Amino acid sequence: MSATPWLESPILRADPELAALVAQAVAVRANAWAPYSGFRVGAALLGESGRVYLGVNVENASYGVAICAERTAVVSAVAQGERRFRAIAIVTDAAEAAAPCGICRQTLAEFALAEDGQDLPVTLVSLNGAVTRLPLSTLLPLAFTPRSFQVRPTQRS
């Protein structure tokens, strides 16, 4: 078996840019701090600028403090001034490609479903080769977003 079976998936074979994003998520996953669950997650978030923001899950001895890879990537991007995104790749070693938790779906929706017509493609990858791609709106239908308010967030530009 290939050392990178996920690269053999039809989705990634057809999209080298996405495969490169997944490769970054695979690489950064090694930095995950998951001594309690042993469940390492890597995320790579592609900004509209073309810049990539990486994230890993970071657990804590006080379990409730843990934060997911998807949110660390979003927080890093926003801290660096990027608020619009073209894609996210999320990598685990689960038997099936694992989907983001509810909090991460909501965090992504804040930026990735905020405007009419926006819908972030989410690529879920298992190191065993399982690859799925679906829009964020499928993961979080009827999302509560800034559009749910009658006013726009004052800091959005």
Site size for Zn ion (CB under 5 A): 3
Instruction: Rule CB under 5 A: choose which of 60, 101, 153, 156 binds Zn ion.
Output: 101
Which residues belong to the active site?
70
Written as six digits, the tokens of 97 are: 């490609």
In order, the DSSP letters of 122-139 are EEEEETTS-EEEEEHHHH
What span, in angstroms and rounded, lies between the C-alpha atoms of 60 and 37?
10
Residue 104 touching Zn ion (CB under 5 A):
yes
Residue 32 touching Zn ion (CB under 5 A):
no
Name the closest residue to Zn ion (Cβ).
68
* Residue 50 C-beta: closest distance to Zn ion, Å: 25
Residue 68 touching Zn ion (CB under 5 A):
yes
CA 112, 26, 88: angle at the middle one, nearest 5? 10
Amino acid code (one letter) for 80: Q
Please report, as ranges, the residues that interact with Zn ion according to CB under 5 A.
68, 101, 104
